[in-house]
Amino acid sequence: MWKKRKSFLFLLMLGLIVIFVSACSSEGEDVASDSGNDAGETENNGDTADNGEEQIELRILWWGSQNRHDRTLEVIDMYMEENPNVTISPEFTGWDGYWEKMATQAAGGNLPDIVQMDYAYLTEYVGRDLLVDLNPFVEDGTLDLSDVEDVYMDGGKIDDSLYAVNLGANVHGTVYDPALFEEAGVEPPEPGYTYEDVQSFAKELSDNLDGAYGVQPSVGTNTLRHYLRQNGVSLYAPDGKSLGYEDDQLLVDFLQNTVDMIESGAAAPPDVFMDAGSNVEQQPIVNGDTAMLLDIYSNQLVAIESAAGRPLELMLNPALEGGEPGHFLKPSQFFSVTKDSKHQEEAAKFISYFTNNLEANEVLNAERGVPIAGAVRDHLRDKLDDAGKKMFDYVEMAQDHAKPIDPPDPQGATEVETLYVREVEEPIYYGQVTPEEAAANFREKANEILAKNE
């Protein structure tokens, strides 16, 4: 009897143990399964996509018109469609306020991965160690510039390091209205025309046209740089510690040319053109108030001709008799990768796509200037409208009248150019200073600013 009870108790205990172990085992399997699901959800919502690719978020900042915004946003969407693991957040604005926004983000260590950069600011941002040297990405093929000639890339280099990729080539020049020249019975300018020629035909235009002036003059820094280069010097010294010329008579002669044209009536007075500011679509030539504008970049032809609603023509700047070529291929603007970026390789890959992809450049339509990749230029040429073809033809022609671009502007250049506008350009237009006074004052104050680079 006792033996039977003992066997029963043994079997009962064994059964309880089996049930307990089984329960523990099931619980353990559930935990493992849950852990697996959690891990999967973490991957989907975090750094890895379903296909195993890393999820990447980029920010990109640029300035421009609404037309540029629309084109750039479409290309960003195209890139994200081809690269579903990449999300790009756009930030865009006009020129006004752009650099203040950049300065605030830089101070907070929060610059976007990709920023649109201007030639005038490149040295400053490199000097503050904010931009990435892109050469390693060129060398490993992430950033494909194999179809880009050196002349298009040099503007983005400092000490052989590539800090910025040119988004389009521009050349400074003039634009004229062929219909007004014909109406006045004046032959339009041809390459090689001189400053003296401008004085002459501008006066003839003003005299022969009813209610229009011959030219809209310019003593801005764009035309000044051209004139100085024709004289074998530059606006800034190579070391960036002073102005690049020592003889103030150069600036005096340059300013006096415009003073003479305004006084003779060959050029429009300032009240005709000052209100337009830098907006090309509001320049007097658009409404037929002048026959020629002496300060424009080639990519602006599309906008100004569209605003005018009639054909306009690009022409080289006046030649200096016995002088050197003054033209140069200028990067319209760049893309740079910032050191705040956690995905510098992907940022470089996007810039490569922006530079080389044919479909993307059909959308961009050379709005930032003549594309730097040869295959893109060839692809777009037959698809361009008349204004676009003129722009391409002009840039090609200007290369025969150009020499290498000057080094990027030194730190302090933006302060110097603000000084120039305030104390040289505007007072000269209104006759408030003589060329001699303006030149001497500018030298003294500009060199004080640049001496901070010592």
Percent residues over pLDDT 90 in the chain: 72
Buried-state track 73-111, b at ≥16 Cβ within 10 A, e below 16: eebbeebeeebebbebeeebeeeeebeeebeebbeeeeb
Residue 405 backbone dihedrals phi, psi, to 5 degrees: -65, 150
pLDDT at 10 over 80: no
88 within 8 A of 76, measured Cβ to Cβ: yes
CA 130 to chain centre: 17
Per-residue pLDDT, 51: 64
pLDDT tens digits, 44-62: 334 555 667 789 999 999 9
Lowest mean pLDDT among 175-179, 181-185, 344-348, 366-370: 366-370
Distances 441 to 251, 295, 324, 436 between C-alpha atoms, Å:
11, 24, 27, 9
Per-residue pLDDT, 39: 32
Place of tokens 């960003």: 76
pLDDT at 7 over 60: no
Task: Report d(CA 120, CA 337) in Å as an integer.
Answer: 17
Per-residue pLDDT, 445: 98
The full DSSP string for 159-191 is TTEE--EES-EE-EEEEE-HHHHHHHT-PPP-T
Per-residue pLDDT, 49: 56
Indicate the burial class of 33 (C-beta count within 10 angstroms; 0-12, 13-18, 19 or more): exposed
Contacts of 149 by beta carbon, 8 Å cutoff, 6+ apart:
372, 374
pLDDT tens digits, 231-290: 999 999 999 999 999 999 999 999 999 999 999 999 999 999 998 776 788 899 999 999
When pLDDT is averaged across residues 120-135 and rounded to a whole number, the result is 94
> Would you state the structure tokens that stand for residue 128, as one six-digit string?
């503050």
Place of tokens 């309880």: 16
> Would you state the structure tokens that stand for residue 306, as one six-digit string?
């569209």
When pLDDT is averaged across residues 160-178 and rounded to a whole number, the result is 96
In terms of pLDDT, which residue wins out, 401 or 151?
A: 401
Per-residue pLDDT, 48: 59
- pLDDT-derived band at 32 (thresholds 50, 70, 90) equals very low
- Mean of pLDDT over the chain: 88
- Specify the 3-state DSSP secondary structure of 89: strand
pLDDT at 22 over 80: no
pLDDT tens digits, 271-287: 999 987 767 888 999 99
Per-residue pLDDT, 36: 32
Contacts of 293 by beta carbon, 8 Å cutoff, 6+ apart:
174, 175, 176, 215, 216, 218, 283, 284, 285, 304
Task: Report d(CA 115, CA 277) in Å as an integer.
Answer: 25
The full DSSP string for 12-71 is HHHHHHHHHHHHHHHHHHHHHHHHHHHHHHHHHHTTB-TTSPBPEEEEEEEE--HHHHHH
pLDDT at 342 over 60: yes
CA dihedral 255, 407, 395, 351 (to 10 degrees): -140
pLDDT tens digits, 185-205: 999 999 999 999 999 999 999
Lowest mean pLDDT among 9-23, 248-262, 360-374: 9-23
**Closest to 234 measured CA to CA, from 245, 221, 246:** 245
- Specify the 3-state DSSP secondary structure of 293: strand
Task: Report d(CA 295, CA 317) in Å as an integer.
Answer: 9
Per-residue pLDDT, 190: 97
When pLDDT is averaged across residues 404-429 and rounded to a whole number, the result is 93
pLDDT tens digits, 83-102: 999 999 999 998 878 999 99
pLDDT at 5 over 80: no
Place of tokens 């910025």: 164
Per-residue pLDDT, 408: 85
- Residue 48 pairs in a beta bridge with 54
Per-residue pLDDT, 151: 83
When pLDDT is averaged across residues 399-412 and rounded to a whole number, the result is 89
In terms of pLDDT, which residue wins out, 29 or 119?
A: 119
Query: What's the Rg (C-alpha) of the chain?
Result: 31
Task: Report d(CA 73, CA 278) in Å as an integer.
Answer: 25
**Closest to 225 measured CA to CA, from 165, 297, 167:** 297
